Structures are given as structure tokens and as C-alpha cells.
Chains A and B, each alone.
Chain A
């Protein structure tokens, strides 16, 4: 009765399934990219760029929080450092092309990230969060005092300049496609990191750190590397943001910003790739729509309410809940 099973057949079936899965993913990604490509003709490009910058910031944060389980409460420091460095260099050196300015901003944020990581990584849980918060407050006070940041007035009139010295970024559409390209590249990078063996170790650390240690992984080194990548991407988001808005302000360095990125990640769905993107889009939109309407006095209480609701009732966030729903009913 039993049919002889050919191992090659099983292999082929798995391959076919994987191919179908890949095709589905590719189709979804193509649709998303197509939407993003057309978006600036329908929606206001500066607003879209703002969403992309915050989405990148949230993706960076999620790499650390969602995938490694480290709650940093100091990511605003990297956002601001990227922004101020890029802004300062581009304003002071007119010969510098925009992409080099952005690169420099990212680099400085990366170095700062390494310093933060080495100091904070030895502590866990709430202590880790508090150490990162304390360090980012130090950075905040440095920016308050430094004359080059313009203090609480902020740094203004940062030139957008030209990409590679050729393409004028003054044009909102050019700027948008540049930001979009950087965003997609970073998103793909994070996707690769998460699905690589390195990413698997990060997940293992999140789920059970002592076990990861007992399996022989150098947990601290993995954590530091994850922290540094996350800081670098957050710095990149800040650099892009300063070029898009042509300003860098203290708001980016304030601990509120560190809180906001946690909100974005949680609302969107932490530990999912798309979650922070959806979360950032959601939060930026809610803030914008509310601040225009009759409820504008209530923006903060409403965002707070959404946060509480998410934590209490929808712990997986928007994307997480949708995935759960799809798995339960359609899978």
C-alpha cells in the first residue's frame, strides 16, 4: 500500500514551495515599490520624505529592540548626531557634495553608537535602557551648549546641494527618489542582516541569552555589532532628515524622540520587518491629521491612548496582528 517516497521528489516539492513563497514576496515588494514610486505625484513629497526618514529611524531601532531584545532609550542621540554633523558640514563646506555630507553624518553616529554600546551593553533590561537614556541626555546637553548647533534656535538653512555634484536636490521629486533609494537599500540591508546566521544568533539572544552563551556564542560582541548597525542607520535617518528639511533641531536630540520611535515600533509591530515602517507612517499621519483638525489640543493624549491600547490589547502591533490573522484564517 505504501508508496515508495523518492527523496528527490520531496526536495523538489520544498524547492517549489520556496519558489512560490519567494514569488509571492517579490510580488508584494514590487507592488510596494510601485506605490512608493508613484506616491510623490499624488501626495506631497516633503511629507512622504518625512515618513521615509522616520520609517528608517524606526527600522534601525527595531533591529535592536525587535530582533535583539535590547530596549535602547537613547536613539535620539544618533538621529541628532547624524543630522547636526551633516548639517554643519554641508553649511560650512560648500564644495562638499550632499552624499558625502550624509556619509560623514552616518559615520559620526556610528562611532558614537560604538561608544554607547561598549558602555551600556554590560547591563540588561531596565538598567540598559537607563544607561542609554543617561548617555543620550549627555549628548543632548552637549548640543544645547554647543554654539555650532544654534542651541534651541536650531541649525537652519542647510543647503540640499547636488547629488554627486550633478543632480539638483532642490527639486522635491529628485530629493524624494534619492531618499527612497537610500531607504530601500537600508531596508534590504536590515532584511539580509535579520535572515543571516548573524541575525539568527540575535534572535537566539533575544529568546534566551544564557542558552546562547552556553552554545558558545560571544553574546556581547553580537550585541555591540547589532547596536552599532542600529546607531548607524539611525544616524543616516537623521542625516537625510536634515537635508530634506534643511534644518536640524534640538527636538531630534530630546528624549521625547527616543520615546516616539518606541511608539512607532510598538504600534507597527516590533520584531517584524514591515512593522516599524507601518508604525512610522501611522504615527506621522496621526500627528499631522490631528494637528490640522479640531482635536489638535489633544494630540499627545490621543497618541498616549493609542500606545496604552496597543500594549494592552494588540501587543503584536498593526503588522503583527495582521500576520496573526492571516496565519489563523487563511494559512
Chain B
């Protein structure tokens, strides 16, 4: 029913456009709401600097699109779906916000996507990891932009096996996210001819990883994979570095690790870790130029999430400019039809399930000898093509895909 209504509205909207109606933008304002963790665990990877990245995209448009003013509002979601949903409801129902950007904690993104669908507004998820956001939780009203757990497991595992890491030991955070990563990694490792010789589950969160790391070391596996996130990953890496895991010839593979985490760990502790990233600031002239601009404003180098927030906002504004509309379905349709080519992604495209697929990269953290400056942290080992990296649509549980 709602689906029908949406199709109808978008049909009407496009019919109007063909008629040459200029500026079908409500209140003659494009309002973007930036919602992210501004004070908690995820502050560094998106947070206030993500807002700076978003504002850079608005600046590129001179603060105006098709004569309509671009306004940005922002709020802290405190990593709580309650706070997020009451904020977003108010934004959509009372304040006429057209786009919700940012969105980091998975629980927040899923809660917000339900509200977006109810109000038929658009949201772009840049910070969340859960691949369920465009799988069983997909809606016609949100786009998942930067990365998700599927390419993290898939990319890292298949690439590392191909690089010669045949036997694996997986250290898993004992909750749904960790279990999902563990099963994804196991599947990919076995499909590529590798073998998982042991798994170990640790409680979430764990401050002391000594006993787990010792068992991983004693297993003699080529690769020790960390199927956890945030503080657990950094704690595990610190402990692994104290026990000299990478120095003794084992490869440490982190499945979810951000540039800011590596920066905080330092190359001494993090050297040699392999990970998958959607973007790195020091890849080419274009990324470096943008990162310099970003650094001028914030004093740090951008993570892939920061770059994704900038890129997705830019693509959104371009779509608004091209369609002359702020209607969610019209804009989303245009975004889906237009390949993404900017400093963040080359030939990126948005699929029917809302997943933006683009090339991912297998990176290795540099050694102290290789690292020339504070933020000179990764070397890119290989590019993982978009189609290999992301979950194929044929495996999708998203109803939007089957209806296509």
C-alpha cells in the first residue's frame, strides 16, 4: 500500500519535472540533519568531524542548491536508539528535515530507517557496520554508504588467504555482531581453500586479552583474526603486540578497525595488521587534496566515514540539483541511476537494496620504519573490486530486490 503510494508520488513528481517545473523544493530550503555519536565511543570515527565533512560538501555548493538555501542541523544520538528516534521524529515531523546523515551505531541506524520509511524521507547511513541494514532491514528510504561487515569479512579473509594465510584462528566477541563476523569469515576462508583451526569467544567487553592471545599464539595458526570491534579490538591488538604475535610470523587480521584507532594505537603496536578499508586519505592526489582541506578544519586526517559523509552529501545535493526536487523517492531514484565518481569512490553505484557498492582496499599497517609522518599509517596491498566485496543481490533478503 505505502509502496504503491510512494511509486505514485514519485511518478507524479517525475511527471512534474518533465513539465519543466523548477524548484519543487519544499519551503525553498534543503534541510540536512546530522545525527551521530558526538560524545561517546564512536566520537572519533564520525562525530563532530563528520559534521565538518558534511559542511564541506555544503560549502562546495556555496550553501545553495537551485536557489534553495541549504541548512544543516545536528544532534548527538548518545548511541541510544531512543534518543535517536525521538530526535529524528521531531526533525521529520516538525522541522521539515529532508535528509538525515551520519548515523553510526547500528541500533540507531535501524531505528532511524523505520522512521524514515514512515515519513517517506531520505537517510544516508555512513558510519554503521551491520550488513543487515540493507538486508533484512532494508527500506526504500535509506542508503548505506561507506562499508559493512560483509566486505570486511569477505575482503580481509579472501585477500589474506590469497596472500598465503591458510590456517586461521578466530577470536570472537561473544555477541551477535561477533558471531556474524565469525561465521562470515569461516565461510570465506573455507571457500578459498583455507582452514579455521580454532575459534575462541571472549566476553564483551574484555579489558584483558592475555589468556586469549596466548592461546591464539599457541595454536600455531598463520592468521589470528579479530572478530570484534572498538575497544575490544584495540585491547587485543595491544596485548598481541606485547606478546609479539606479528613479529613471530603470525598475521594479525582486524575485521573492523578505523584510521583513528590505528592512530591511537600507534604504528609500534599496530604494525603488520591487515584490514579492509573503504577509503584511505593517502591514495592519490584527489584524496590527499581533500584530506588537506579536512585537516585544515579539524586538525586530523579523515577516516573512511568522514570521507563517506562528505561524498554522500555531495551526491545527494547533486541529485537535488539535477531533479529540482527534495522528494525522497525522486532523489533516491536519481542517485541510483547516477554512478558515483568523486574523491571517495570510482564507479560506485547504489543498488536497489540501498547498498552503495564500491571498490574496497586491503591495507596493512606500516612499520615504524616505513611510516614517515604521524598519519602515514597504511599501505594498500590490493584493491577488492566492488562486485567481489559486497553481498551479491542474489543472496539478499531485502524485499525491494525480489520485487525488481
Q: Residues of A at under 8 Å CB distance from B?
A: 44, 46-47, 50, 141, 144-145, 147, 150-154, 156-157, 241, 245-247, 249-252, 287-288, 290-292, 296-300
Contacts and interface: CB of A to CB of B under 8 A. Distances in A.
Contacts of A157: 114
A166 B392 CA distance: 44
Please provide the 8 A-B residue pairs with the shortest distance between their CB atoms, ordered closest to farther. A151-B176, A291-B76, A154-B107, A296-B76, A249-B81, A251-B80, A296-B38, A144-B175
Contact of A287 (B74, B78, B132): B78
Interface in B85-103: 85-87, 89-90, 93-94
A292 B106 CA distance: 21
Contacts of A44: 89-90, 93-94
Interface string B111-130: 10010000000000000001
B83 interface: yes
Contact of B75 (A141, A250, A296): A296
B377 interface: no
A245 B74 CA distance: 21
Nearest to B48: A297
A152 B177 contact: yes
A245 B177 CA distance: 23
Given A151-B177, A152-B177, A156-B137, A299 B78 contact: yes
Interface in B11-48: 38-39, 43, 48
A284 to B, nearest CB: 9
Given A152-B177, A249-B111, 4 more contacts: A151-B177, A153-B176, A292-B75, A296-B38
A246 B107 contact: no
A251 B82 contact: yes
Nearest to A300: B39
A144 B204 contact: yes
Contacts of B48: 297
A241 B175 CA distance: 25
- Name which of B43, B74, B81, B175 has the most chain A CB atoms within 10 A of its CB: B81
Contacts of B114: 156-157, 246-247
B81 A251 contact: yes
A46 to B, nearest CB: 5
A153 B86 contact: no
A44 B106 CA distance: 26
Contact of A250 (B107, B130, B174): B107
B88 to A, nearest CB: 10
Interface string B151-185: 00000000000000000000000111100000000
B107 A296 contact: no
B79 interface: yes
A291 B83 contact: yes
A246 B110 CA distance: 12
A246 B81 CA distance: 10
Chain B contact-residue range equals 35 or more
B211 to A, nearest CB: 19
17 contacts: A50-B82, A151-B176, A152-B175, A153-B107, A153-B110, A153-B132, A153-B177, A154-B81, A157-B114, A246-B85, A247-B81, A249-B80, A249-B111, A288-B83, A290-B76, A291-B38, A298-B39
Contacts of B80: 249, 251
A300 B174 CA distance: 28
A46 B89 contact: yes
Contacts of A47: 86, 90
Contacts of A287: 78, 83
B106 A241 contact: no
Given A291-B83, A297-B39, A153 B78 contact: no
A298 B43 CA distance: 12
A241 B80 CA distance: 13
Given A46-B86, A299-B39, A300-B39, A249 B107 contact: yes
B41 to A, nearest CB: 12
B203 to A, nearest CB: 8
Given A247-B111, A250-B107, A153 B76 contact: no
Nearest to A250: B107
Given A46-B86, A153-B110, A154-B81, A299 B175 contact: no
B75 A245 contact: no
Interface in B128-148: 130, 132, 137
A290 B75 CA distance: 9
A296 B38 CA distance: 7
A291 B132 CA distance: 28
Nearest to A53: B82
Most buried by A among B79, B87, B107, B132: B107
Given A144-B204, A291-B38, A298-B39, A46 B90 contact: yes
Nearest to B93: A44
B9 to A, nearest CB: 20
Contacts of B93: 44
A147 B179 CA distance: 11
B82 A249 contact: yes
Nearest to A252: B82
A251 B106 CA distance: 13
A280 B73 CA distance: 26
Contacts of B130: 153
Contacts of B110: 153-154, 156
B111 A145 contact: no
Nearest to B79: A251
Contacts of A145: 174-175
A287 B43 CA distance: 17
Contacts of B90: 44, 46-47
